[in-house]
Amino acid sequence: MPWFRRRQAAAIVDAPPAIEQDPGSGGFFRRIGGRRHRVGIPYVLPTDLAEINRLDFQHYMLRFALRGNFAAPAQGPSAILDVGGGTGRWALELASVFPQAQIISLDLSDPTAPGSALAGAVLPSNLRFQVANLLEGLPYPDASFDFVHQRLLVFALPLERWPDDVRELVRVTRPGGWIELVEGRPAVHVRTPALTTLHQWVLDFCARRNIDPLVGNQIGDYLRRGGLHHVTMREIRLPLGRKGGHLGTMAETDYFSGFAALRPILISQGITTGEAFDEMMRSARKELDTGRYEWSFYIAYGQRTAM
Amino acid sequence: MGMGVRLYEAILSRPESIARIRAAQRDIERLGGRVSFAPPAPGGLILVTLALPETLTPAQVLPGIPFAPA
């Protein structure tokens, strides 16, 4: 019997569902309304097959929209780090672009584990996946990499951890090397009623974990404050909705898949009900059909001062 | 009625993090809290569960260790 069930005086407030361990990756998870969430981190989105598919779809959408996998002027790097590498797609493609470089993709799970995104894939010899929690700091010596990349961690990093995170990225980057951050920012400027309600529910939930999904447009400032030079930030506005053509339809699919991924946890947290959520999703899709809307992504890169 | 307890969890891989928690374990218990460690998972990650009286937060007893509410 767990210790906390032996002591009557210490009642657990908001006891969470039981933890399960994935037999393939060994990771620890909780099932919330049919979606699988990793325990022990503030990340708000699920970690399951549906989310792997959404992330891979998002990877291809971004590569198409951004016309490539990175923007920093990294010239012939010999060591590349991808922080929060997720399904591993970005690192896998970079391994082909820079065959002379050693590439490490770091995340809480190994995407080559059974049942994961790259299970059974034949991997290039210059690519390695490392399991670690970036919130503990990066497990590398100072000045280990020429190019450090971090993408789409706004739903994983509590607001107060951003400066520490960038400090770690700078620490492991070699003098003269480049750091690139890529983040999206929810389209809260679209003030249609249903979409505004959906955004507010997500923001309310994220606030409980000290996560601010709206920091995406500040990543350039974080790099500057981290001491980098030649900091450049670009905003890329994706069309959002079918009126935006092929890319707009792709973006809408990804956007609403993200909302759908959060449906169970928003309900379990008492933020909304299933009926209200489903009604808002239907209404928000109709709203996007009435006008031309955009979803912004930001790419910021900067260089560590050469010695 | 007894004081409520809140659960926090952290997924950790660095030996120094685990060592810090073990070093603080007695003090945490003295404050009415508890620490438990799951066996290491493949890849070396360890799930640490921290139960604290509602009046305390992880940042107060183990600053810098990235605990999240369970």
pTM beyond cutoff 0.90: yes
The gap from C-alpha A153 to its chain's centroid, in whole angstroms, comes to 4
Q: In the prediction, which pLDDT does A17 show?
A: 85
Cα–Cα distance, A83 to A234 (Å, whole number): 20
Specify the amino acid at residue A17.
P
Indicate which of A5, A37, A39, A153 best probes the interface with B, i.e. most B CBs within 10 Å of its own CB: A39
Q: Would the CB atoms of A208 and B11 count as touching at under 8 Å?
A: no
Q: Would the CB atoms of A108 and B11 count as touching at under 8 Å?
A: yes
Name the residue among A10, A38, A8, A30 with its Cα closest to residue B51: A10
Q: In the prediction, which pLDDT does A128 show?
A: 97
Cβ-proximal residues to B11 (8 Å cutoff; 6+ apart), any chain = A28, A38, A39, A40, A41, A108, A133, B45, B46, B47, B48
Whether A208 and chain B come into contact, CB under 8 Å, resolves to yes
Cα–Cα distance, A129 to A251 (Å, whole number): 28
Cβ-proximal residues to A81 (8 Å cutoff; 6+ apart), any chain = A103, A104, A106, A138, A140, A144, A145, A147, A148, A149, A172
To the nearest whole Å, the CA of B26 is away from the closest chain A CA by 15
Whether A3 and chain B come into contact, CB under 8 Å, resolves to yes
- The partner residue sitting opposite B47, judged by closest CB among A28, A42, A137, is A28
List chain A residues with CB under 8 Å of B3.
9-10
Whether A18 and chain B come into contact, CB under 8 Å, resolves to no
Q: What is the mean pLDDT of each run of 10 residues along chain A (307 residues)?
A: 46 82 88 95 95 95 95 96 97 97 96 90 96 95 98 97 97 98 96 97 96 98 98 97 95 97 97 98 96 96 90
List chain B residues with pLDDT less than 50: 1
Cα–Cα distance, B8 to B53 (Å, whole number): 11
Q: How far apart are the first and last CA of chain A?
A: 58
The gap from C-alpha A52 to its chain's centroid, in whole angstroms, comes to 11
Cα–Cα distance, A108 to A37 (Å, whole number): 12
- The partner residue sitting opposite A16, judged by closest CB among B4, B7, B54, is B7
The residue in chain B having the minimum alpha-carbon distance to the alpha carbon of residue A7 is B2
Cβ-proximal residues to A246 (8 Å cutoff; 6+ apart), any chain = none
Question: Which residue carries 């973006």 as its tokens?
Answer: A251
* Sheet arrangement for strand A35-38: A20-21, A28-32, A35-38
Q: In the prediction, which pLDDT does B2 show?
A: 60
- Tokens coding A86: 């997720």
Q: Which pairs count as long-range contacts for A288-293, CB under 8 Å and 24+ apart, including other chains?
A: A288/A192, A288/A195, A288/A240, A288/A241, A288/A242, A288/A243, A288/A252, A289/A241, A289/A242, A289/A243, A290/A192, A291/A241, A291/A243, A292/A239, A292/A241, A292/A243, A292/A244, A293/A187, A293/A190, A293/A239, A293/A240, A293/A241, A293/A244
Q: Would the CB atoms of A26 and B43 count as touching at under 8 Å?
A: yes
- Three-state secondary-structure class, residue A240: strand
List chain B residues with CB under 8 Å of A137.
14
Q: In the prediction, which pLDDT does A16 show?
A: 84
Q: In the prediction, which pLDDT does B41 show?
A: 85
| B 31-50 residues inside an 8 A Cβ radius of A | 32, 34, 36, 38, 41-45, 47-48
